[in-house]
Amino acid sequence: MIDKAALVIRNGRIYTVDKLRSWAQAMAINRDKIVYVGTNKDAEKYIGPGTMIIDAKDRMVLPGFIDSHVHFTSGYMETSWVNLNSANSLENMYELITEHAEKHPDYRLIGGFGWRYEIAQSKGQLPRKNDLDEIIYDRPVWLLSYDDWVGLANSKFTNLAEEALRGKTSILGSMERDPKTGEPTGIFYNPFDLIFIGGSISELIRGNEIEGLKRIISQATRFGITSIHEAQIDFHDLESFQQVRNDGALNVRVYGAFYYHQETTEDDLIKFKEAKSRYSDEWIKTGAIKLYIDGVLESHTAAMLEGYSDNPSLKGESKFTPEEFNEIVEKLDKMGFQCFVHACGDRGVRIALDAYENALKKNGRRDNRHRIEHIEIISNQEIPRFKQLEVIAAMQPEHVETSPDTTYYRAAGEDRMKKSFRWRSLLEAGAVLAFSSDWSVADLNPIFGIHTALTRNCKHENDQTITLEKAIDAYTINGAYASFEEDSKGSLELGKLADIIILSEDLFEIPTNKIRDVEVIMTILGGNEIYRSEKF
C-alpha cells in the first residue's frame, strides 16, 4: 500500500536534472523527501484527504538553486550601511556618505559598500584618510569597493585598525603605508581580514549581523536559492547561522569553508577538523578551507603570468610562495579538508593547480573535490588540468566584463580578455563547473547568472557561452557535487530532499534574451512552502 503524500505538485513542466529521466509532470513529497516523480495520472495514488496539492499550471519546476560561493555573513551591510554603487562621481559618493551619516547620528560606524574603481579613482588616486576626514572625522568611516577587495577609511577607523593589527603579520589586512613617512594612508587591500582578527574592530564592522543575515536569506528565498556555500567563515559565523536556525529563520542550507590566513595556527586547524563532525547535518555543514593565492585584477593584485596592460611593471604578488602553498595544501589535503582556493589571475590558477597536483602525488588520489574559485583569466595549458586533477571550477557568470571602459578591462587588456571566464573551454575539457554569485560582489539572482552564461558576447573569436542545460547543471547538481551532497540534493529524484522551485516561464520555451525577466514564483524547502509570489 502506498503512503499518502503530504504534498503533491502536478501539471508541471518538471525539469528534474536527472539524466535518466529529464522531464516529468508531477511529484509527491512526504516529510522532507521526494517519494514520487512521474505522470499526473500515477501521482493520483499519492493523494489523500490531508494532501496539499499545488497546481503548477504548466509552469517550469526545477530543483532549488545552489549558490556555490557567497558571503551571507556580510549581510550586515544590507541593514545599516549605505550602497555606493549608484554614485556617478566622487563628489556624489561623498554626498551619499554624508547624507547617510546625517540620517543616522546614533550609528557607531559609518559604513558604505559597492563603490566602483572608476569613480573612486577619478582624481588619479584612491581617496586617503585625510580626504574622508574632511567629510566625517568624529566617527569611524569604512567604505568597501564593489568587489570587497579595497577598503577606504578615515583617520578614526584607520587608528582603530592599526591598533587591532598590532603584532599581526604585515600581510594581514594589507594596510597601505606612506613610503616616506610610514603612516597608514587609510587604504586597505585585504579589508575582509579585519573581520577575522576579532576584537573590537570586528565587532564594530559586523554591527547588526543577525538581522542582516536574516534579511539576505529572505532575499535568497525569493530568488529560489535553497542552498549556499558560505566561502569564508569563522566560528562566530557558524554561531550566527545557528542562532538564525534557532530563531526558525534559516531558510537555506549552509556549507561553510573556514578561512585560512597567515595567522592561522595548527591549533586552529585541529578546531576546524573538530567542527567538521559537529556541524554535519542537512542544514549547517562544514569541511572545507578557503585560501587565497592572489587578489583581483582591478587593484593589480591578481597574480598574472605577464604584466598588467595598463601597468606592465606589475604582475601581482601571490599571497604565498609556490613552495609555501604546496606545503599548506598538502597538509590540508592530508587532514581531509576540501580546499577552496581564490585565484583570479592566470599565474594564481597555475600555482593552485600545481599545489593540488603536488598533494595528489604526496597523499594519493582521494575524493577531495578541491576547488578553484573565480578563475577569471586562465592560460590554455591549465584548462585540461581541471579534469586530470579532478578540480572543480567554481565561477561567477555575473563577474564577466565586456566593456573596454572598465578598470578590469584596461588592467587585463584585449588579448587577455580572450582568455577570460572560459566556461565553455573548461566544460569541453571535462571540468565540473559550479556557478555562484559571490554575493555581495554581484547580484544574488541565479536567473541573471543563467542568462549571462547563455548570452555573453565577448566580441572575440572564442565564444564562451554555454547551453541552458549546462547552466542549470552548474546551479543545481554540480553545486551539490561541489559540497559532497549530490546524493541528497541538486536534482528532483526519489529519496532526495524536496528543495523545489517553480518559475514564471519555461526557460526552454522562451527566447534567450527573455530569460532575465523570468521570476521564481514559489520556493519549497524540505517539502515546506517558504515563498509564494503574488504572481502564482
pLDDT in tens, 257-313: 999 988 899 999 999 999 999 999 999 999 999 999 999 999 999 999 999 999 999
Please give the average per-residue pLDDT across 522-527, as a whole number. Answer: 98
CATH 3.20.20.140 maps onto the chain at 293-489
Please give the average per-residue pLDDT across 79-108, as a whole number. Answer: 95
pLDDT band at 175 (very low <50, low <70, confident <90, very high): confident
**HSE of 237, CA atoms in CB hemisphere, 13 A:** 26
The continuous run of DSSP H or E covering 163 comes out as helix 155-165
pLDDT band at 462 (very low <50, low <70, confident <90, very high): low
Residues 7-64+494-532: name the CATH superfamily.
Urease, subunit C, domain 1 (2.30.40.10)
User: pLDDT tens across 444-453, in order?
Assistant: 999 999 999 9
- In this prediction, what percent of the chain has a pLDDT beyond 70? 98
| pLDDT of amino acid 173 | 57
Check: CB of residue 191 under 8 Å from CB of residue 150: yes
Closest Cα partner for 63 from 7, 24, 115, 105?
24
| pLDDT of amino acid 349 | 98
- In this prediction, what percent of the chain has a pLDDT beyond 90? 84
If one looks up domain 74-206 in CATH, what number appears?
3.10.310.70
Q: Which three cell numbers stand for residue 104?
A: 543616522
As a whole number of angstroms, the distance between CA 146 and CA 237 comes to 22
Alpha carbon of residue 457 to chain centroid = 23
Please give the average per-residue pLDDT across 253-257, as a whole number. Answer: 98
Please give the average per-residue pLDDT across 408-427, as a whole number. Answer: 92
Check: CB of residue 209 under 8 Å from CB of residue 236: no
Which of 86-95, 100-109, 451-460 bottoms out in mean pLDDT, i.e. has the lowest? 451-460
The SS3 of residue 94 is: helix
CATH 3.10.310.70 maps onto the chain at 74-206
Alpha carbon of residue 29 to chain centroid = 30
Query: Can you give the C-alpha Rg of the chain in angstroms?
Result: 23
As a whole number of angstroms, the distance between CA 255 and CA 488 comes to 14
Sheet holding 151-153: strands in order across?
82-83, 110-115, 141-145, 151-153, 184-188, 175-177
461: pLDDT strictly greater than 50: no
The three state secondary structure string of 227-249 is: EEEEEEECHHHHHHHHHHHHCCC
pLDDT band at 170 (very low <50, low <70, confident <90, very high): low
User: pLDDT tens across 334-347, in order?
Assistant: 999 999 999 999 99
| pLDDT of amino acid 171 | 60
Q: Is the peptide bond before 200 cis (omega within 30 degrees of 0)?
A: no
| pLDDT of amino acid 103 | 96
Q: Comparing 175 with 219, which gets the higher pLDDT? A: 219
| Exposure letters 115-134 (e unless 16+ CB within 10 A, then b) | bbbebbeeeeebbbbebbbe
Please give the average per-residue pLDDT across 317-346, as a whole number. Answer: 97
The SS3 of residue 460 is: coil
Which of 145-159, 444-458, 465-479 bottoms out in mean pLDDT, i.e. has the lowest? 444-458
Please give the average per-residue pLDDT across 2-24, as a whole number. Answer: 95
Please give the average per-residue pLDDT across 479-496, as a whole number. Answer: 98
Check: CB of residue 116 under 8 Å from CB of residue 146: yes
| Exposure letters 375-391 (e unless 16+ CB within 10 A, then b) | bbbbeeebbebbeebbb
As a whole number of angstroms, the distance between CA 473 and CA 479 comes to 8
- Mention the CATH class of domain 293-489: alpha beta
Please state, in angstroms and as integers, the Cα–Cα distance from residue 166 to each residue in 80, 159, 171, 318, 486, following that order. Answer: 28, 11, 12, 23, 44
415: pLDDT strictly greater than 60: yes
CATH 2.30.40.10 maps onto the chain at 7-64+494-532
Mean pLDDT of the chain: 94
In sequence order, which residues have a C-beta less than 8 Å from that of residue 521 and are 6 or more positions away?
Answer: 59, 502, 503, 504, 532, 533, 535, 536
